[in-house]
Structure 1
Amino acid sequence: MRLPRFSLRRLLTRVLLAVLSVQGATLAALMLIDQRRKRLRAPARFPKTKPTTVPTGGGELTVFTYGQDLYDDMLEGIRSARRRVVLVTFIWKADRTGRAFKKALIEAAERGVEVCLVYDEFANLVVPRPFFHFPASVNVVRHPLVWSGVGLLNPRNLGRNHNKLLVVDSEVAWVGGYNIGSLYATDWRDTHVRVTGPVVADLEDAFVDHWNQLPGRHRALPDVSTRSWHSSIRVHRNVPRQALYPIRGMYLEAIDRAAHHIWLTHAYFVPDDDLVRALLGAAQRGVDVRLIVPDQSNHIVADWLSRGFYSQLLAGGVRLFLYQGAMVHAKTATIDGQWSTIGTANLDRLSLAGNYETNIEVTDATVAAKLEEVFAMDLSNCRELTLEEWVRRPFMVKFSETVLRPYRRFL
């Protein structure tokens, strides 16, 4: 009797197919759960603060925690523009809010203001293409879905433009987590800031550099030359085209300096090993490390990938708080009452090592105090997740987290 010949390759292939099948089934189940959850979701309710302005960095910084307040302020800035408006956004919905921005920008161009716009093509695939048709007086460049020619083969050209930045007349700028859309105006808790002073030139320079790198026949913008070396606010921008990712280093350095507290609010928390070690190291030396994340975000897979870190963090002394009743989309941190950051970058691999992002870093006790007030407000709308509760979660939940673990490297 002849026995079948053992084939290691065949065995490995079958194992791989089995794993992929289980992962696919898990992802499909999560998508179904997410669709049902969205249909049954109650109207968003969450605490918010009025915009508050504090002096810093040779100018002023205003913190916005409610989208409608922010949009009203940005639209007022566009309507009062005299010379130039530059705007880049990741998502731009073709709804009432999106149309209001489009109308204001077109009207600015019609009265002689130079208007330059960038939007990310991938993020707006579901938005009707005609919405992005503007009159010739408005300069529009899309960050392409794929780069043509040999550029497609360069990994540095795969990054999405995740920025959300508006600069008016080189005098005032807005930057933070808010995309443009009616959903974000009322139903999401996010954080954005308006700044004046020397930092505006750095933010405008970030826009100009990206505009001039994008493919196409659009007119190049001149460099911003009046930039200051001395400010309590620094701009950090990820530029995949140049393999520059300083925001991750900014976080690691600040966490390493922490002596008293680290308070983080993040929509999507899928950190790399170095960030996990940094947070655990801070907690072990007695730093009060707290993290606010959504109880249920708008991306259920991101939630489950994030939960894969909870056991390690909770066991290591990091306190986790789950935001209730709304999607919290902020990307902020404040440390030791001295240091803060606000911007577009999440603590995940896409933001820290893949996408175009912009964060401001502020070393100012007044700004830190304001962000601590915002953190305390958000904390009042959270429930704390304890290690005892977490270890009692059902076996199938633990199994699904394990199955999805390999996808961390892609998010």
Structure 2
Amino acid sequence: MSTLLEVVLWVLLIWSALIVVVTAVLMTVDARRKRRIQDDAVTFPRMPPLSEKIGDSTFTVYTYGRDLFAAMLAEIRGAEREIFLESYIWKGDAVGEEFKRAVIEAAERGVRVHVIFDSFANFVVKRSFKRFPAPVNVLRYPFFNPWILVLRLRKTGRDHRKILVVDGKVGFVGGYNIGADYASKWRDTHLRIEGPLTWELNNAFVDFWNLHRKRGTAELPDPGAVQWEPRVRAHRNAPIHLSFPIRNMYLDAIDRASSTIAITQAYFIPDGDILAALLRAARRGVDVRVLVPEVSNHVLADWLSRGLYSQLLRGGVKILLFQGAMVHAKTATIDGRWSTIGTANIDRLSLTGNYEINAEIVDEGIAALMDEIFANDSTAARELTLEEWTSRRWRARFSEAVLVPLRPLL
């Protein structure tokens, strides 16, 4: 028994060492690649904002950062009563400074301003930028979560959400963080809601603020919805409550698919249930397409995702590799009826880890917009074939196999 235990320990030790070595090599190669890339090399097809109405609310989809930031800043500068702004990353660059000035100026003219950002994600942002004058109410989601000490990983999630709500009348949600690179160098997707259905985002912000506010900080009022609209819901992951409805939303929608599934993801590392659901859909004749960056900003996520490509391709799922830019969108459309736009990636961190928010919309008009956007993005992507994938080098296969144990962590 002791000999067997020693063998197991040695295998674990060797495998751990291989993971460290492979990870270090991949990150070194990726760092060199990034240094070679010139800013003017970033290109991708762009589309203007697209709008549709659902009931008394107008939904607008943004796929270009400059358009989105202009719209967000216009709402902040026109605010009369209240601003709720939550961002995972808020860079201290020119774009970040413009947003900071806008919310400070709003507070100075009497608008109630509440701001939330994640301390870990903004660790490298200079401290002075993260300080706001007293009129601005700030919640810094803490850098360290004590649940990590007892290995309760599902309660240690980051605040990965991106929300803006102005006067309870206009709201924004999606994948865009705040920063200059996101304005023109990243391909992402954000949703604007104008009208009574903005309540979905307003309520999400209020609940998060009241749950995490410091002792002595005033609660935000929690008004009920003025309108019930079954076609639109904002699903929210709450790690502290071990509540992860976005994953169930995806599973339910994929199981219903009868003709098409179009998924766009920055980091695509589906768990066993979602992978199986996609493969079942492909087997029953659904045209399943997954669009991901050929090379993302997180090399380790790329390699963990590639470890699933063989199963996906053999199962009939089409993989489209986006070229020329980082695609960071977190969207999906099914059967020309169902769509989701939000902050959650299809990976462990987002679906069973972080605080996330995704709008679920059952509407043919919105789905048509999303299908149009997917088709436009596909013009900048190449389809990965099974023949190409099976002919990859042995070093790639080796690296994928070594990194498999990290998949549940990301």
TM-score by length of 2: 0.96
Identify the match of residue 37 of structure 2 among 21, 38, 41.
Answer: 41
Q: Could you tell me how far apart the structure 2 residues matched to 1:82 and 1:151 are? A: 41
Corresponding residue for residue 262 of structure 2: 263
Asked if structure 1 preserves the Cα contact closer than 8 Å seen for 2:148 and 2:156, the reply is no
Identify the match of residue 56 of structure 1 among 54, 57, 70.
Answer: 54
Identify the match of residue 166 of structure 2 among 162, 165, 168.
Answer: 168
Which amino acid in 1 is paired with 2:289? Answer: R
> How far did 1:51 drift?
1.0
Which amino acid in 2 is paired with 1:400? Answer: S
- Aligned Cα RMSD in Å? 1.5
Q: Could you tell me how far apart the structure 1 residues matched to 2:259 and 2:362 are? A: 16
Whether 2:16 is the aligned partner of 1:13: answer no
Corresponding residue for residue 342 of structure 2: 343
| Shift >6 Å, 4+ stretches | none
Whether 2:203 is the aligned partner of 1:205: answer yes
Q: Could you tell me how far apart the structure 2 residues matched to 1:327 and 1:269 are? A: 13
> How far did 1:175 drift?
0.4
Asked if structure 1 preserves the Cα contact closer than 8 Å seen for 2:269 and 2:407, the reply is yes
Q: Could you tell me how far apart the structure 2 residues matched to 1:151 and 1:8 are? A: 31
Whether 2:103 is the aligned partner of 1:105: answer yes
Q: Could you tell me how far apart the structure 2 residues matched to 1:155 and 1:15 are? A: 25
Corresponding residue for residue 288 of structure 1: 287
SS in 2 for 1:86: strand
Deviation string for 1:356-404 (max 9, x for gaps)? 0011111111111111110000000000000011000001100100000
> How far did 1:57 drift?
4.1
**Structure 1: tracts of 5 or more residues without a match:** none
Deviation string for 1:209-239 (max 9, x for gaps)? 1101115132211112234322421111111
Deviation string for 1:304-362 (max 9, x for gaps)? 00001100000000000000000000000011111100000000011000110011111
SS in 2 for 1:270: coil
SS in 2 for 1:362: strand
SS in 2 for 1:337: coil
SS in 1 for 2:121: helix
Range that drifts further, 166-175 or 208-217:
208-217
SS in 1 for 2:124: coil
Corresponding residue for residue 220 of structure 1: 219
Which amino acid in 2 is paired with 1:131? Answer: F
> How far did 1:151 drift?
9.2
SS in 2 for 1:123: coil
Range that drifts further, 41-50 or 284-293:
41-50
Q: Could you tell me how far apart the structure 1 residues matched to 2:395 and 2:69 are? A: 43
Asked if structure 1 preserves the Cα contact closer than 8 Å seen for 2:322 and 2:382, the reply is yes
SS in 1 for 2:69: helix
Range that drifts further, 153-162 or 314-323:
153-162
Corresponding residue for residue 134 of structure 1: 132
Asked if structure 2 preserves the Cα contact closer than 8 Å seen for 1:58 and 1:231, the reply is no
Corresponding residue for residue 385 of structure 2: 386
Q: Say if 1:139 and 1:77 are closer, same or farther in 2 by CA, change over 3 A.
A: same
> How far did 1:152 drift?
6.0
Identify the match of residue 185 of structure 2 among 183, 187, 203.
Answer: 187
Q: Could you tell me how far apart the structure 2 residues matched to 1:6 and 1:19 are? A: 20
Q: Could you tell me how far apart the structure 1 residues matched to 2:358 and 2:407 are? A: 23
Q: Could you tell me how far apart the structure 2 residues matched to 1:156 and 1:406 are? A: 17
Deviation string for 1:268-289 (max 9, x for gaps)? 0000000001000000000000
Deviation string for 1:139-189 (max 9, x for gaps)? 0011111246x8965655411000000000000000000000000101000
Aligned length in residues: 406
Which amino acid in 1 is paired with 2:103? Answer: L
Which amino acid in 2 is paired with 1:354? Answer: G
Q: Say if 1:57 and 1:160 are closer, same or farther in 2 by CA, change over 3 A.
A: farther
Q: Could you tell me how far apart the structure 2 residues matched to 1:308 and 1:326 are? A: 22
SS in 2 for 1:72: helix
> How far did 1:6 drift?
7.1
Corresponding residue for residue 242 of structure 2: 243
Which amino acid in 2 is paired with 1:208? Answer: V
Between the two proteins, what is the percent identity of the paired residues?
53
Range that drifts further, 392-401 or 153-162:
153-162
